[in-house]
Amino acid sequence: GDSVTQMEGPVTLSEEAFLTINCTYTATGYPSLFWYVQYPGEGLQLLLKATKADDKGSNKGFEATYRKETTSFHLEKGSVQVSDSAVYFCALNLAGGFKTIFGAGTRLFVKA
Amino acid sequence: GAVVSQHPSRVICKSGTSVKIECRSLDFQATTMFWYRQFPKQSLMLMATSNEGSKATYEQGVEKDKFLINHASLTLSTLTVTSAHPEDSSFYICSARADSNRSYNSPLHFGNGTRLTVT
């Protein structure tokens, strides 16, 4: 069935380190792909999205490229900050569907 | 734009009582809203899809008589946890997608969640 798999956390980095959070998906057709971020005690917010193959989503220094050949949508940031500490969710919307399928979430801790 | 307001943010209730959680889309209309439950250190579990003017669609394993959903208008959905038990303690989050942008390319907009503690 349709699913999203992302790397298990927690991920602990020092400030200014490079971040990669892996995300792969299984889906029929051509889904839209999203990264959401959840700060402590809050709901989720959209971080970035990509709607077709080779699209790159970017926001707040984060980037992810929709790779259809590897069914991946890895999240990257060149230099993380303490304020980036949060849980990051990879998700997809199926073409023609209405539900969003979420990965398990990856918790990121950034140390000063 | 696209703000979803969820209230209350925290609630503590006694076992056996009922609790109502409200989810409002403040600046857009949403025929459909979604209710999720999030366990500690786990992902979001979709509980039900709330449809304005009709019955909610519940996911497998979710008790519809325990988690009552009412979507009375295009901007308001409510989740009532009836006869609450300690195992219902959790973080509940609502979300919506604007009617004006129902494409599968469009993201969900989330409320800030409700932390329910049943004692």
Using one digit for the tens of pLDDT, what is the confidence trace for A59-99? 999 999 999 999 999 999 999 999 999 999 999 988 766 77
Selected residue of A34, A100, A108 to mutate for chain B interface (largest B Cβ count, 10 A): A100
**Interchain proximity A44–B110, CB inside 8 Å:** yes
Give the per-residue pLDDT at B11: 97
* Residue B25 touches partner A, C-beta closer than 8 Å: no
Is residue B66 scored above 70 in pLDDT?
A: yes
- Nearest Cα neighbor of A2 from A39, A40, A47, A33 is A33
Quickly state the pLDDT bin for A55 (edges 50, 70, 90). Answer: very high
Report the distance separating Cα B74 and Cα B84, nearest Å: 27
Handedness of CA B6, B8, B9, B14 (dihedral sign): negative
Is residue B101 scored above 80 in pLDDT?
A: no
- Give the A-side interface with B, CB within 8 Å: 31-32, 34, 36, 41-46, 49, 51, 89, 93-100, 102-105, 107
Q: Which of A31, A46, A102 is opposite residue B44, by nearest beta carbon?
A: A102
Which tokens go with A42?
């809050």
List the alpha helices (DSSP H) in A20-102: none
**Which is it for strands B19-25 and B76-81: parallel, antiparallel or unpaired?**
antiparallel
Quickly state the pLDDT bin for B102 (edges 50, 70, 90). Answer: low
Q: Please state, rounded to an integer, the average pLDDT across all residues of chain B.
A: 91
Which tokens go with A60?
């707040």
Report the distance separating Cα A11 and Cα A78, nearest Å: 15
